[in-house]
């Protein structure tokens, strides 16, 4: 518990600032390897309101495997 608390507190008081803080590498960093723009939220009156979710996901997976 103490180690987790120290890790949390270290995020609140960074050791460095600016570009140096942004370029530091940590073992718990998240890396985004693919970004695809998708209509994940369907409005009640939007163009995808009647499109089944399976069709939207199929297109997403097709694009993912093509890249």
Picking from 35, 34, 42, 15, the residue whose alpha carbon sits closest to that of residue 26 is 15
pLDDT at 1: 67
pTM of the predicted model as reported, rounded to 2 decimal places = 0.38
Residue 51 in contact with residue 41, Cβ under 8 Å? Answer: no
Kindly state the tokens that stand for 4.
């987790």
List for the chain the helix, strand, coil content (%; round to 5).
Answer: 45, 0, 55
pLDDT, tens digit, 9 for 90 and up, residues 15-56: 777 788 778 888 888 887 877 776 666 567 777 778 888 888
Question: For the chain, what is the largest distance between any 2 Cα atoms, rounded to a whole number of angstroms?
Answer: 51
Residues 40, 29: Cα–Cα separation, whole Å? 25
């Amino acid at each position: 518990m103490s180690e987790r608390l120290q890790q949390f507190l270290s995020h609140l008081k960074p050791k460095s600032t600016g570009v140096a803080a942004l370029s530091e590498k940590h073992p718990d960093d998240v890396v985004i390897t693919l970004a695809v723009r998708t209509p994940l939220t369907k409005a009640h009156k939007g163009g995808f309101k009647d499109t089944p979710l399976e069709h939207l996901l199929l297109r997403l997976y097709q694009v993912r495997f093509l890249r």
